[in-house]
């Protein structure tokens, strides 16, 4: 573990500097500044305010000089009063200008952050499924929250600090040289002492910041996983509470260490700056005092000069350290740009046409696909599903059934061959128009933590109450929902955990019925339900499957029996196809699967007592 208090700590770190640290290139700077360009008007106001504030700040020392050299020695009471009033008026005016400046700089900073977050969110939603299967949710959250949040502070903060300190420094320099060049030269000689060590400190702080940010992302990801319902259940059932807590504490401690180191690197530097800062006035009094004794300088000038020194060293120190913040901001930007630069793998080709009204013929022509280059998940799969037909995908686990269903709505594109909708390659059609005519029911039902109504209307926002109720009736969930104390306004709980598995599935089915897609893709739930729920699900499926082209990963015998064609997949290949009877007669893989899986499952369901009113419903 790194030490943060010891003198040598941060120098040691610089040797460990990772090679992937972002370099400040013109392109990076340009890109960062491009986020500020839309706000150039507000930016101009800010710069003008800063210039006025810098000029106003020079007033009081000059007034002090006039008080000491002129008003007091010559007994000018009226002038004395005026000068004193000026001493209050200048800072007051400066304060007012500052309020205006603060308003606009916050405006620009917050706006820029809002733009960045919008852009990032939009970009993330345009990425392919592959990105989300490969990235931890918490990591994504962290970039959207921590990184974008950090950018606001450091970019506007450091830019304003640069401009304001530059104004302050130059205006003060001009004035002091005007007052006395010998003293000014002496004051300026001390300046490099503030600036030289900064580059190094800046680089180290910047590296630590980037590390800290990375750790924050890890921590967020960890919390996301372990504090979700599934993660919680896993933790409790495997009694991993203590281990989990220890892991969390460790990660948290790492962040603490890094943050401490980051803070302390700066402190050593500022301590040095402060010490040097006290040497300055002492030397000026010495040299200035000698000049006064020789009669070539007034007392008022020395006092004013020392008062101005603060306006020389303070901005110099801040300019030196702002470089650090700016680097930190750049590191954050770099992390955000990393995401923004990810190419959406699946996007519209130029000239892609809308799908328009489709009949629903789905064709796989020699389709090959691999998640990773060398391991094929699908090999030369060809089949056709006619409009309105139901095709059941059957096969052992890991055969490639889910992969086939992913290719249809273009969550992935085939690496060879093509998939056609009504004879047109999916890649020639607009992505959105393809997905509009498809409905997908996944095995794990995902519901938003909101009311049942909102979950249903997700399918079609402008659906009427009647349409919604009709969909729920068709999905055999309306009676259940109406009997809930809050009916359609019932909040389903995180991911629908307040509903039973069967109820959730029926809500999901109602949601797709409401969408009314031409093509239905379904991964039938494998979970065994009691016979009552099973019967309700089967009843719900009928209106869902009716009149659509359906591609279903089938786990229920009833679905397989209803299928027009059964496609048997094994090791990424289509090995058998036909109806139930045909395939049984062949005595191949399907026949084996039937004996092992579908038949026993069906027996289990039938063995349970079936309530009388339900047999009517089915």
Which residues here bind ligand ADP, judged by CB under 6 A?
Answer: 133, 371-372, 377, 395, 397-403
406/480 with CB nearer ligand ADP: 406
3-state secondary structure of 396: coil
CB nearer to ligand ADP: pick between 216 and 590: 590
Reduced DSSP (H G I as helix, E B as strand, rest coil) percent helix, strand, coil of the chain, to 5: 65, 10, 25
Closest contact distance (angstroms) between CB of 589 and ligand ADP is 13
Measured distance CA(484)–CA(548) in Å, rounded: 32
Query: Which of 311/401 has CB closer to ligand ADP?
Result: 401
Q: Which residues pair with 573 in a beta bridge?
A: 570
CB of 383 to ligand ADP, least distance (A): 15
Q: Which is nearer to ligand ADP, 373 or 616 (CB)?
A: 373
Task: Tell me how far CA of residue 513 lies from CA of 72, 362, 476, 543, in angstroms.
Answer: 91, 20, 12, 8
Closest approach of ligand ADP to the CB of residue 21, in Å: 31
N-to-C CA span, the chain:
66
Judged by beta carbon, residue 91 or residue 417, the one nearer ligand ADP is 417
Beta carbon nearer to ligand ADP, 356 or 398: 398
Closest distance to ligand ADP from the beta carbon of 369 (Å): 9
C-beta closer to ligand ADP: residue 107 or 371 = 371
As a whole number of angstroms, the distance between CA 270 and CA 267 comes to: 5
The 3-class secondary structure across 403-452, one letter per residue, is HHHHHCCCCCCCCEEEEEECCEEHHHECHHHHHHCEEEECCCCCCCCCEH
Nearest to 217 by CA among 153, 135, 110, 121: 135
Q: Between 366 and 486, whose beta carbon lies closer to ligand ADP? A: 366
Identify whether the C-beta of residue 519 lies closer than 8 Å to the C-beta of residue 551.
yes
Instruction: Kindly report the three-state secondary structure assignment for every residue of 10-68.
Output: HHHHHHCCCCCCCCCCHHHHHHHHHCCHHHHHHHHHHHHHHHHHHHHHCHHHHHHHHHH
Please, are residues 280 and 313 in contact by the beta-carbon 8 Å criterion? yes
Closest CA to 426 of 446, 412, 440, 439: 412
Side by side, the strands of the sheet bearing 416-421 are: 375-385, 362-372, 416-421, 424-425
Q: Closer to ligand ADP by CB, 1 or 373: give it.
A: 373
Q: How far is the CB of 403 from ligand ADP (least distance, A)?
A: 3
Element (H, E) at 390: strand 390-394
């Amino acid at each position: 573990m790194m030490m943060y208090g010891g003198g040598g700590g941060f120098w040691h770190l610089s040797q460990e500097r990772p090679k992937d640290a972002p370099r400040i290139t013109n392109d990076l700077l340009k890109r960062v500044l491009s986020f500020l360009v839309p706000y150039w008007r507000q930016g101009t106001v800010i710069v003008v305010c800063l210039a006025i504030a810098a000029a106003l700040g020079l007033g009081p020392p000059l007034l002090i000089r006039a008080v000491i050299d002129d008003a007091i020695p010559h007994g000018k009471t009226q002038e004395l009063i005026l000068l004193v009033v000026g001493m209050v008026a200048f800072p007051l005016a400066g304060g007012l200008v500052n309020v205006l400046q603060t308003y606009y700089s916050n405006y620009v900073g917050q706006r820029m952050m809002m733009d960045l977050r919008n852009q990032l969110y939009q970009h993330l939603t345009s990425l392919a499924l592959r990105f989300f299967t490969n990235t931890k949710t918490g990591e994504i959250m962290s970039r959207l929250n921590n990184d974008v949040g950090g950018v606001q502070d450091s970019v506007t903060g450091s830019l304003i600090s640069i401009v304001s300190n530059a104004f302050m420094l130059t205006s003060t320099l001009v004035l002091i040289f005007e007052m006395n060049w010998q003293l000014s030269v002496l004051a300026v000689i001390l300046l490099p002492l503030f600036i030289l060590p900064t580059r190094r400190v800046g680089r180290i702080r910047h590296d630590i910041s980037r590390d800290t940010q990375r750790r924050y992302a890890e921590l967020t990801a960890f919390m996301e996983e372990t504090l979700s319902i599934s993660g919680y259940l896993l933790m409790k059932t495997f009694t991993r509470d203590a281990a989990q807590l220890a892991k969390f504490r460790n990660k948290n401690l790492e962040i603490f260490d890094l943050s401490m180191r980051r803070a302390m690197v700066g402190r050593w530097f500022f301590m040095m700056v402060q010490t040097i800062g006290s040497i300055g006035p002492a030397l000026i009094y010495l040299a200035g005092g000698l000049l006064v004794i020789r009669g070539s300088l007034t007392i008022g000038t020395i006092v004013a000069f020392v008062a101005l020194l603060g306006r020389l060293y303070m901005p110099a120190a801040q300019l030196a350290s702002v470089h650090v913040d700016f680097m930190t901001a750049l590191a954050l930007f770099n992390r955000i740009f990393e995401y923004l630069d990810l190419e959406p793998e699946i996007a519209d080709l130029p000239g892609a046409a809308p799908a328009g009204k489709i009949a629903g013929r789905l064709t796989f022509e020699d389709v090959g696909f691999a998640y990773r280059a060398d391991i094929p998940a699908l090999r030369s799969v060809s089949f056709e599903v006619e409009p309105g037909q139901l095709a059941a995908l059957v096969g052992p686990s890991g055969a490639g059934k889910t992969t086939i269903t992913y290719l249809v709505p273009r969550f992935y594109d085939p690496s060879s061959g093509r998939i056609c909708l009504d004879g047109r390659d999916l890649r020639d059609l607009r992505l959105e128009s393809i997905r509009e005519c498809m409905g997908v029911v996944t095995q794990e039902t995902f519901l938003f933590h909101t009311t049942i109504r909102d979950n249903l209307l997700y399918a079609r926002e402008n659906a009427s109450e009647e349409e919604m109720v009709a969909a729920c009736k068709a999905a055999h969930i309306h009676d259940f929902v109406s009997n809930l104390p809050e009916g359609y306004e019932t909040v389903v709980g995180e991911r629908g955990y307040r509903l039973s598995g069967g109820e959730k599935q029926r809500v999901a089915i109602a949601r797709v019925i409401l969408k009314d897609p031409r093509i239905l893709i379904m991964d039938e739930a494998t979970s065994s339900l009691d016979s009552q729920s099973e019967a309700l699900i089967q009843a719900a499926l009928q209106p869902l499957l009716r009149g659509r082209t359906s591609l279903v990963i089938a786990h229920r015998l009833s679905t397989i029996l209803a299928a027009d064609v059964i496609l048997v997949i094994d090791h990424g290949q289509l090995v058998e196809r036909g109806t139930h009877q045909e395939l049984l007669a062949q005595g191949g893989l399907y026949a084996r699967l039937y004996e092992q899986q579908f038949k026993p499952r069906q027996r289990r369901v039938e063995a349970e007592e079936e309530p009388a009113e339900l047999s009517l419903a089915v």
